[in-house]
Amino acid sequence: MYLPTGPGRTGTRRGDKPIGSITRGTTNPNRLRRMDRWLAGPDGRPLRHAADPLVVDLGYGAAPTTAVELHHRLRRVRADVEVIGIEIEPERVRQAKPLERPGLSFRQGGFEIPVDGRRPAVVRAFNVLRQYDESEYAGHWDTVRARLAPGGLFIDGTCDEIGRRSAWVAVASEGPVSLSISLRFGSFELPSDVAERLPKALIHRNVPGERIHRYLQALDRAWLEASALASFGNRQRWLAMCRGLHAAGWPLLDGPARWRLGELTVAWEAVAPL
């Protein structure tokens, strides 16, 4: 169940103070490459069709690496893409300013998305809401999705320190749409190893009786059932796992082209908190 907007969740600015809290800011080169690849692939429709190709990297951290990489990768999708890195910590913004160039800039702010009234096609917040209390994520989702362009997406995700295990929720203006996981082959024993990297909306729901727990258990079963293909490599085994899930009726939103990369996207209603 998605928690709708309610009292205190309108996302208005409190004077000149940005909405949010300073995060630890941990970042590494190529940490978000799996998310960038997804956004530059078939799921880049919001950017490809945007009247204003504005992308926000929200809470990029102690170094602007992820915003710089995002701009470089998305230019292959839209040569006129504009990436704005937004950080709540002023010193992080100051240190990023020398890296500005056409199509890439940095400014201070938070979940209010201070982009001069423009509506972004994509807002990405990775390893940001993970550091908030579970009671806070829905309000921040509402704040951001209210600022999206028509057809835009807010990507709330989490990954490990070097980007081998990632998971993210795609949130549209109407609410959450899907959950994606992306794992590097050889970096896990069971697909459910991604559980510790689930976004805040789901990480505390991975318990018996919840949909996300049922989904991860189904992934593990299908992975183990495909063990006979292990000698052909983890990619073939993963493909068989995905085909098994699809045959079992799970509402998967992607296909073999993405599965081959260690990705899998399922409709939100299949994993939404009860």
Per-residue pLDDT tens digits for 131-185 = 899 999 999 999 999 999 999 999 999 999 999 999 999 999 999 999 999 999 9
Interval 27-49 mean pLDDT: 88
Interval 118-134 mean pLDDT: 94
Statement: residue 1 has pLDDT above 60: no
Confidence band, pLDDT 50/70/90 cuts, at residue 34: very high
Q: Which two tokens stand for residue 240?
A: 């068989």
Q: State residue 26's pLDDT score.
A: 73
- CA distances to 10, 16, 237, 254 from 267, rounded to whole Å, are 26, 38, 22, 10
Q: State residue 228's pLDDT score.
A: 96
**Whole-model pTM?**
0.92
Other CB atoms within 10 Å distance of the CB of residue 73: 18
Statement: residue 8 has pLDDT above 60: no
HEC per residue, 43-86 = HHHHHHCCCCCEEEEECCCCCCHHHHHHHHHHCCCCCCCEEEEE
Q: State residue 29's pLDDT score.
A: 83
Q: State residue 13's pLDDT score.
A: 43
Q: State residue 10's pLDDT score.
A: 33
Q: For residue 88, give the amino acid letter.
A: I
If we measure between CA atoms, which residue out of 262, 185, 192, 194 comes closest to residue 230? 185
If we measure between CA atoms, which residue out of 271, 221, 228 comes closest to residue 247? 221
Interval 81-86 mean pLDDT: 98
CATH of 33-200, one of 3.40.50.150, 2.90.10.10, 3.10.20.30, 3.55.30.10: 3.40.50.150
